[in-house]
Structure 1
Amino acid sequence: MSPNPLKVNSKKEPPLYRQIADALLSGIRDGLFPVGTLLPGELELIERFKSSRHTVREALRVLEDMGIVKRQRGRGTLVISTEARPAFVQAVRDPRELFTYPENSAFRVLAEGSVGDDDHWPARIGDGVDENWARIAGLRTLHDGSPFCWTDIYVLPDYAAIAQQLGRTKRPVYEQIAETFGETVQRISVEICAGSLTGSRAKALQVDEGTPSLVLYRRYCGNGNRLFEVSVTEHPADSFSYSLEFNRGWQAAEHWSWSK
């Protein structure tokens, strides 16, 4: 029996999809799959690596993100390069690095209830939140009491008691939920959009009705990729800005460490 040229190295025991991607990348660089040719099909890779379809697809996604292959519907996975393409990336080691507020600011709870009680429940919150979720509303102010943003925090009903802890610490709500209820943050998504301040929000922030605003939606998923918190923070447009800095690096999830 001839040796399998795509043998998985299990010494370091990385995730299986990484092992598969590593083996395929070695095959590409060794000329087993030259540029312009197709990789073996998904079913063949599933059999060869004794893995699931999901795992094989994740390995191919990794190679596609690196710029090594291009997946084509109905045709297969085409090898387009032997080297990963450079990209510009932003490294975030801690979620708190996203949209941090001044150290001298504080959050003050103004209202508690359920989503069903909120006339301003934004449709943009999306799927996963229903009228039974708990809502905590409040203002973030500077040390002199000047308000600079309104925040609505929506959490699973079982986590409603977290409202009693807010204001006592400057730690983010998702951290307090993780510690108190045993959640593990698996994914955070952030959306920024334009809005305008009206009603009680405009009054609380001491601005005129219709003042342009910048709205941040943060969605936190935890154990089992379950959504457990959504926060909606609204700032008068002239009181908040956010800058991004990207450094040249290799497009990589968990940083590629592969070589020939």
Structure 2
Amino acid sequence: MSAVTGIGASTAKPMENEIDVYPPSLAATPPRHLDLARTLMQEIVNGRPRIGEFLPTEAELCEQWNLSRYAVRQAIQKLTSLGMVSRQAGVGTRVISDRPRERYMQVMDSPADLAGYAKGTTLRTSSCERIQADPAQARLLRSDVGAEWLHIAGIRYGADAKREPIALVDIYVDQAYSRLPELGAVLSVPVYTMIEKEYGIKVTRVEQELQGLLIADAQAELLQVEDRSAGLRIIRTYFLRDKVIAVTTGVHPASRFSYLMSYQLTQDVR
């Protein structure tokens, strides 16, 4: 086994193929393991190391970047999730692709990452209308039947809107908070942030529910997947204290979307 070295925090060589837009999982601000992941990704894109070759060992990266082994493993996991490297115990981390695979991955380290999801995608709206909640919608929205809501429907795309869609989206906004001047045919920021800006409020709580489902009929056609394909439905409910002010649902094809949540644990030293 040979390892390619020379990937370090102080590398001064110019990068021939500069990456303009990182995948959403690498587009956040530090912690430093993201800096390492970005650098490794850039080096792989530039052919150093090449496909089939190995990254430096964890110990070497820890020394070069002055990071903990845990942080280095987080960086490698990011590249693994993007389909660029493959890890094998006792062997090493091998480069298997010089480009991230076409799959949208949402990374959640904190509630602030909810906004990052929309920033890395584009929502093309297909309808925007005021509705009176029917019984099924009332259960979803935790409201009375007949309550008035603004309903926005559309298709969400990744960074490259010319490629296949990543989700069918439905957004419901309580009538009292539905005057949103920034609504348009294309949305690139979360609707809940529009509500906060327009009404001078702050969402106090977000509940999130993940459901497995089969994507069928019209939904399968819109998402360009086979009928009855596996999918994931994400429901987010936004609260102002105890009042629901917005609900979003997204139906994602399993083949184009993954969802990663990480938690920083503290150890009780008593």
Q: TM-score by structure 2 length?
A: 0.50
Partner of residue 191, structure 1:
209
Name the amino acid aligned to 1:156. D
Contact 1:107–1:166 under 8 Å retained in 2: no
Partner of residue 59, structure 1:
none
**In 2: Cα distance, 1:124 partner to 1:215 partner:** 16
**In 2: Cα distance, 1:167 partner to 1:110 partner:** 8
Partner of residue 166, structure 2:
148
**In 2: Cα distance, 1:165 partner to 1:210 partner:** 33
- After TM superposition, give the deviation of residue 163 of structure 1 in Å: 7.6
- After TM superposition, give the deviation of residue 174 of structure 1 in Å: 0.6
| Greater gyration radius | 1
Partner of residue 234, structure 1:
251
- After TM superposition, give the deviation of residue 178 of structure 1 in Å: 0.7
Partner of residue 236, structure 2:
218
The runs of 5 or more residues in structure 2 that have no matched partner are 1-107
Partner of residue 193, structure 2:
175
Change in CA separation of 1:181 and 1:250 when aligned onto 2, cut-off 3 Å: farther
Change in CA separation of 1:96 and 1:248 when aligned onto 2, cut-off 3 Å: closer
Partner of residue 126, structure 2:
110
- After TM superposition, give the deviation of residue 209 of structure 1 in Å: 2.4
**In 2: Cα distance, 1:102 partner to 1:164 partner:** 15
Among candidates 83, 88, 97, match of residue 113 of structure 2 = 97
Partner of residue 180, structure 2:
162
Deviations 1:152-197 (A, max 9, x none): 0011123334385245552211111111122321110101011122
Identity fraction in percent = 25
**In 1: Cα distance, 2:188 partner to 2:174 partner:** 21
Q: CA RMSD in A?
A: 3.2
> Are 1:249 and 2:266 counterparts?
yes
Contact 2:207–2:237 under 8 Å retained in 1: yes
Name the amino acid aligned to 1:226. K
The runs of 5 or more residues in structure 1 that have no matched partner are 1-89, 252-260
Partner of residue 220, structure 2:
202
Contact 1:136–1:163 under 8 Å retained in 2: no
Contact 1:115–1:134 under 8 Å retained in 2: yes
Contact 2:182–2:194 under 8 Å retained in 1: no
- Give the count of matched residue pairs: 159
Change in CA separation of 1:175 and 1:164 when aligned onto 2, cut-off 3 Å: closer
> Are 1:136 and 2:142 counterparts?
no
